[in-house]
Amino acid sequence: MADHPASSPILEVSGLHKRFPLDQKLIGAPKHFIYAVNGVSLQLRPGRTVGLVGESGCGKSTVGKLICGLETPDVGQIRFRGEEVSRYSSAEKMAYHRRVQIIFQNPYTSLNPRQRAGRMLGEIFRVHRLCAPAEIEKRVSDILEAVGLPPESRQRYPFEFSGGQRQRLCIARALTVQPEAIVCDEPVSALDVSIQAQILRLLKKLQKEYNLAYLFISHDLSVVYHVCDEVLIMYLGRIVEHGPVERIFKNPAHPYTKALLSAVPIPDPQSGRKRIILSGEIPSPTRIPPGCPFFSRCSQRMEVCENSPPPMRQVGPGQETHCWLYE
């Protein structure tokens, strides 16, 4: 998959930083921050899926929210088709919301419990004036059908759907505005394994149909391996390694990637693979270490790692890593 000719990106993120104040007061600037995202760059291309992997708290969801405009970056750019998103007028922002959508992890809290499915989808058509009012009903049915829900579900409240159906409804919501890119923030983590496969198949099918670009945020590496074309490994707000999915999974370069991959269960007790058990503490995101973020837990750390941030090195075709080992 790595050999696909890369089409030009529709969404480009570069040098994204975001910190959240811990001691927000009415008067005076806050002194303590959580540094959630510290220089993330990525590109989304039509019809391609980019995986964003990392443990909880590493800032991967914040990246998704920044891209969807739910948070504003402190530093860095988000460019959509070459245009800087932060400079958009309010009408252009509205249009951007039609181009870039998001699907959340928890299908139980991501639907308004007091809104019937049909009304929820109809509202989108009305707010964005996507079609004539008389057409809305038919369009809602079309969308429901596209995600595999019967047209009768328009009459139902979220409570009457199963977890998988709810996630289909969330996908329908994101799809209604006919976006070009969708941020999938752990879209299947809250679902049963059997349902996960259905939802992933649906996402694949929709991607093919509408040539969608996905940012697939997940901590589940086996899912990422199956759905992504490209993977970014994130640690403490930074990308430590990225590359085509096959390369990353076959030849991980960064010690953190290696440790992560060794934790993926393989259904073969004789595989003889050794698990890398990480020791040491994750640094607090309120105080980012000056050198390599992974220093405190790395099994191959060197003196240089503690105080100097590792440079980015190409270690294979399209594969780059931030590690002093490859200097």
Note the residues at the interface with other proteins (CB under 8 A). Answer: 26, 65, 68-70, 93-94, 96-98, 101-102, 104-106, 108-115, 123-124, 127-128, 157-160, 163, 170, 173, 177
Phi/psi at 205 (5° precision):
-60, -45
For other proteins, the closer of residues 124 and 228 by Cβ is 124
Question: C-alpha distances in angstroms, 113 versus 35, 117, 118, 274, 324?
Answer: 33, 10, 13, 47, 50
For other proteins, the closer of residues 139 and 226 by Cβ is 139
| Angle subtended at Cα 233 by Cα 301 and Cα 287, rounded to the nearest 5 degrees | 60
Taking the C-alpha atoms of residue 71 and residue 55, their distance in angstroms, rounded to an integer, is: 21
Tokens in use for 16?
Answer: 């994204």
For other proteins, the closer of residues 17 and 97 by Cβ is 97
- The nearest distance, CB 97 to other proteins, in angstroms, is 4
Phi/psi at 231 (5° precision):
-130, 140
- The nearest distance, CB 222 to other proteins, in angstroms, is 24
- The nearest distance, CB 169 to other proteins, in angstroms, is 11
For other proteins, the closer of residues 176 and 319 by Cβ is 176
- The nearest distance, CB 136 to other proteins, in angstroms, is 15
Tokens in use for 289?
Answer: 């270490």
37 and 16 Cβ atoms separated by less than 8 Å: yes
| Angle subtended at Cα 90 by Cα 87 and Cα 93, rounded to the nearest 5 degrees | 70
For other proteins, the closer of residues 105 and 321 by Cβ is 105
- The nearest distance, CB 170 to other proteins, in angstroms, is 7
- The nearest distance, CB 171 to other proteins, in angstroms, is 11
For other proteins, the closer of residues 101 and 296 by Cβ is 101
74 and 17 Cβ atoms separated by less than 8 Å: yes
Q: How far is CA 308 from the centre of its chain?
A: 28
